[in-house]
Structure formats: structure tokens, C-alpha cells
Amino acid sequence: MEAIEFIKNDKIDLLIIDIDMPYKNGIECAKEIISIDKDVHIIFVTGFADYSLESFKVHPVDFIVKPFTKEKILDSLNIAIDHINSHKLAKNNFIEDTLFVYKVRKQVHMINFDDIVMFEKNSRAVNLYTRDDDVIKFYESFEDLEKRLPPNFFASHKSYIVNLKLIHKVIPVSKSSLEIKFINFQESATLSKSLEKDFLYRFYRTKRF
């Protein structure tokens, strides 16, 4: 209850919170805090693993089950820092004309947009696939990531954002999805059938320009 009152007047980046507490459990508390300030990032710490599915309704950075080690806490904090920094970049609409900027363990990295084939959501992490077949792992929410990309990148599925300039063909695989193949690249991505019309519009528009 004190945390809720505190956040009404003070800005914080990260909330580390237990779940099993008196008056209001940690998940309900986190929901209320996010309704006050949607930029707060959450790490849950609890002795009850059963809470994990319910906790993901508030999109926590991490879920730590007691007992935990110092190393586990530090790892979660580092992931949280990457999320926070990336979120601030997205909030400021930080889009360079040619370079994608991302952070790993407080270090700033850059890569040309034209060298990026796709982004893949991998649990809490994001895998960035390059034309040279490198896979770069960093931490950022897909929602924030999408805000920082130019128009030739399209969220084709809840787990994929693809570079429309590098697509070779699209193949139907089921009633609900299609497979995206890229130019001179082995990995493929998924296109949700419900997004096919938007995808085609964006794809042909990108090809024109």
C-alpha cells in the first residue's frame, strides 16, 4: 500500500515485488501501479511458482522463485536495465535513418537496418537475424521494438518482425498461417493469416519505393 502511494508522487523505473502480501497481493498491486505509471518495469519475487502464469498479465521483466541466488538477482537486474533503456529509446521515438541502436549490458551497439533480416521473440529476449547469418540476442519488449523501426519492417506475427525489403516469397502452410522466405537466407518467419492483407499492402508499397 505504501508503494502505491509512493508511486503516485515519485517516478521509478523498476519495481521488485513479492506476491504473497497482506491487504493486496503483489500482482494486484503491480496492476494498480502500472495504471498510475505504465512505464514502470516489474520483477516478481515469490516462493510460489503457481503464480507465474497469473503474473504475466502485467508483462513482468522476470519472475524469480525463492530461494534465489545473488547471481539470479543480478541477471534479472541486467535484463531489466536493457528493457528500461530500450523503452526510453522507444518512448523518445529514437529512429535513425540507417542505423538500429540496441543495448546489451549497458553497452550501445549499432547495425544497419538493411543488414537486418528479421527479429524473433524468444521468451524474454529478442533474436536479431542478420544477412551474414549472425544471431544477436538482446532484451526489449516487442511493442517498444516495433516503435523504433522504419516502415519497411512489419510485425507479421506475435513472435516476428520482418524486413519487407528482403522477402523472397510467402508460402501457405495452414489455414491460420503462412511461411515467409527471405532472399539468400535459410531461416524463415511466420505470417498470421489475419495479417495477410496488411502485409501485402505494406510489402508492395515497400517494393515501389
pLDDT of 51 reads 67
State the burial class of residue 66 (Cβ atoms within 10 Å of its Cβ: 0-12, 13-18, 19+): exposed
pLDDT of 80 reads 87
pLDDT of 96 reads 55
Distance separating alpha carbons of residues 1 and 6, to the nearest angstrom: 9
Is-contact 60 42, C-beta < 8 A? yes
Positions of the chain with pLDDT under 50: 209
Distance separating alpha carbons of residues 20 and 13, to the nearest angstrom: 22
Angle at 21 between CA 19 and CA 24, to 5 degrees: 90
pLDDT of 20 reads 87
The number of CA neighbours under 13 Å toward the Cβ of 58 is 28
Is-contact 159 123, C-beta < 8 A? no
Distance separating alpha carbons of residues 24 and 111, to the nearest angstrom: 45
pLDDT of 40 reads 92
| Cell numbers placing 177 | 498461417
pLDDT of 196 reads 93
